[in-house]
Chains A and B, each alone.
Chain A
Amino acid sequence: MTEWELIEQLKLKDNEAFKIVVDTWQDMVYNTVIGIVQNTEDAEDISQEVFVQVYESIKKFKGDSKFSTWIYRIAVSKALDHLRKKKRKKRFAFIQSLFGENEELIHDPPDFFHPGVSLENKENAVVLFKAISTLPQKQNTAFILNKVEGLTYQQISEVMELSEGAVDSLLQRAKNNLRKNLGNYYLNHK
């Protein structure tokens, strides 16, 4: 079955076509989402939401971009939405704690271990992911797509709907910010 036949079948709500779509792109979606949200349970949950949206809004897919690019966009936007909600909750919890309504302490998120990192890089990767989480959203997304998903500048530009130049500048700024953040971290954790 070609990609177009698959999409046409999916538009007819064919379960077999949906299974093929999920089997083909589940790793790509999960890996992208886990890189952005840095939590395995949340990543699984959001990945499921991504495929539910693919199933429900496939009729809106006009074929202007590659099908995988369209799925990437959904995955990135769902993951970023999740981060925004989490930040809002955190802020709200902080305000509540100021007024003494919430006795819970606001903890730093636990260290994130990406399941695909080799053993010798594990410690460094934990520090790097912590630094990535402090990046502005666009830089974070571009960096994750490049480093975790291994996308080229052109592919990133298609997913983020930016020019290749803009992606290049985003990645440069991301690396500079990461160097700064990592430098501060290592100075404080000698």
Chain B
Amino acid sequence: MENNSSIKDKIENALNSLDKLDRATPHPFFYTRLMARVHNRYQNKWEKYSAFITRPLVAFSGIFLIVFMNLFAAYLNLKTSANSEPAEAAITDEYTQVATNFYDLENIKP
């Protein structure tokens, strides 16, 4: 019985132990440390970005992508030029028939 009441007292004492609590304060120069953190954070952003870009996997993937896009563009170009050959040829033929070139001028038959 006595034991129970002593435990109850202890519980109440513990619960009341925060009643006259003072506010905890950070260490001095909190603002200075905070600003250093902010500066680091912005610097680190660029550092992280450049580190990411220069990672071999990223760099080689980038180069591969550029080469692939170039090859693909060249392939598309070849394909279109192959498709448009008859029309071009027709135009060339038409112009060749009409145009006079130096060869023709020099070889005028009497």
A48 touches B21 (CB 8 A): no
B17 touches A121 (CB 8 A): yes
Cα separation A124 to B41 with both chains bound (whole Å)? 40
- For A117, what are the chain B residues with a Cβ–Cβ distance below 8 Å? 17-18, 21-22
Which of A80-88, A133-141, A176-184 lies at the interface? A176-184
Cα separation A157 to B38 with both chains bound (whole Å)? 32
Q: B11 touches which one: A115, A118, A186 (CB < 8 A)? A: A186
B10 touches A182 (CB 8 A): yes
Residues of B within 8 A of A (CB): 7, 10-11, 13-27, 30-31, 33-34, 37-38, 41
Please name the residue on chain B nearest to A125 by beta carbon: B17
In the assembled complex, the CB of A125 is this many whole angstroms from the nearest CB of chain B, namely 4
A51 touches B15 (CB 8 A): no
In the assembled complex, the CB of A124 is this many whole angstroms from the nearest CB of chain B, namely 4
Cα separation A178 to B16 with both chains bound (whole Å)? 12
The winner among B16, B26, B31 for most chain A CB atoms within 10 A is: B26
B7 touches A187 (CB 8 A): yes
Interface size class of A (residues with CB under 8 A): 35 or more
Task: Decide yes or no whether A100 CB sits under 8 A from chain B.
Answer: no
27 CB-based A-B contacts, threshold 8 Å = A23-B31, A26-B25, A26-B26, A26-B30, A27-B23, A27-B24, A27-B25, A27-B26, A30-B30, A31-B25, A44-B27, A44-B30, A48-B34, A51-B34, A55-B38, A115-B24, A116-B24, A118-B20, A118-B22, A128-B15, A128-B17, A128-B18, A148-B18, A148-B21, A175-B15, A182-B10, A182-B15
* 10 residue pairs, one from A and one from B, having the closest CB atoms: A116-B22, A124-B17, A121-B17, A125-B17, A124-B14, A30-B26, A182-B11, A128-B14, A147-B18, A115-B24
Task: Decide yes or no whether A160 CB sits under 8 A from chain B.
Answer: no
Contact with B along A83-123 (1 / 0, CB 8 A): 00000000000000000000000000000001111100100
B7 touches A183 (CB 8 A): yes
Residues of A within 8 A of B (CB): 19, 22-23, 26-28, 30-31, 34-35, 43-44, 47-48, 51-52, 55, 114-118, 121, 124-125, 127-128, 131, 147-148, 150, 175, 178-179, 182-183, 186-187
- For B37, what are the chain A residues with a Cβ–Cβ distance below 8 Å? 48, 52
A19 touches B31 (CB 8 A): yes
In the assembled complex, the CB of B31 is this many whole angstroms from the nearest CB of chain A, namely 5
Q: B24 touches which one: A30, A118, A124, A127 (CB < 8 A)? A: A30
Q: A114 touches which one: B14, B16, B21 (CB < 8 A)? A: B21
- For A182, what are the chain B residues with a Cβ–Cβ distance below 8 Å? 10-11, 14-15
